[in-house]
Amino acid sequence: MVDYKILICGDRSVIVAFPDEDIMVSNERARWLERELNKRQFDWLECTKVLSDSTALIYNPAYMPYGKLCAKISKIIKKGSVPLTLPDGNEKKLVHSLSVCFSEKYAPDLAQLASLLGTDGQALTDSLCSRDYLVCYFLNKGRAHLSPTVFKERPELSQHFANRRIKQGQLVFDGGELYIAPFDALANGAIVGTAVVEYTNGEGNIFCRPGEYLSFTSVTENKFKKLCEKKERLVTERKVNIVR
């Protein structure tokens, strides 16, 4: 039996949370529920959104009262094939390879963050480039949250990096999470690199989808500038390398 909670977050919205020690398992279940809800095309369901460990949905209470909504969601979960674990590691996934510059100019907080982690900038860069990242969910018009990360057990480190001027495409560590900034903003977080990222429109909608993967390849400043003009990225379907 999968553990889940239905939480009220407004007069016409709820969040279905899947608490689990492994955030990637929770995210797999959240994306499963979103697919199950959307394929049924309920007339009372207005929209859904996958968060890190939960599925948020907005509904019309005139057609589906809260009590009946909870019963409907519970029925779908109890009778459905909810993922109990992550998919077979041999299953191929869509992986987007991004070129990232980790020089001081494009990763101004990398050295300080590495020092706080008890390592150096090159070692942290190698660690960031040694794994594939699951795109867990999107927030704020395309902000892609990635998991797992080398920072997941050190959320307190973000207090050292307040009021940063973050630019579109930068890799930002914030509160134990790693995300790709969809637009320029003033925010908290350590800037640990800048990626060659393609956005589909001016609102910052990123190219990939939750459930797909990203990997990083370190490039020099000169190569980074050339790649920015082309906006090229490599997309492959392969087994993913996840380091927990």
pLDDT at residue 236, rounded to an integer: 57
CATH topology of domain 5-79: Gyrase A; domain 2 (3.30.1360)
175-192 pLDDT, tens digit each: 667 888 877 888 888 999
208-241 pLDDT, tens digit each: 777 778 889 999 999 998 888 776 555 555 555 5
Residue 11 — very low, low, confident or very high, per pLDDT cuts 50/70/90?
A: confident
Q: What is the dihedral sign for C-alpha 35, 39, 44, 47?
A: positive
Structure tokens belonging to residue 115: 């020092």
| Domain positions in the chain | 5-79, 93-238
Cα distances from 73 to residues 29, 78, 84, 198, 230, in angstroms, run: 13, 9, 17, 36, 45
Percent of the chain with pLDDT over 70: 77
pTM: 0.66
Cα(179)–Cα(44) distance, integer angstroms: 33
Is the preceding omega at residue 61 within 30 degrees of 0, hence cis? no
* CATH placement of domain 93-238: 2.40.100.10
64-103 pLDDT, tens digit each: 999 999 999 999 998 888 777 665 555 677 788 889 999 9
Residue 58 has pLDDT above 80, yes or no: yes
Structure tokens belonging to residue 188: 């908290």
Phi, psi angles (nearest 5°) of residue 93:
-125, 160
For residues 239 and 92, the answer to whether their CB atoms sit within 8 Å is: yes
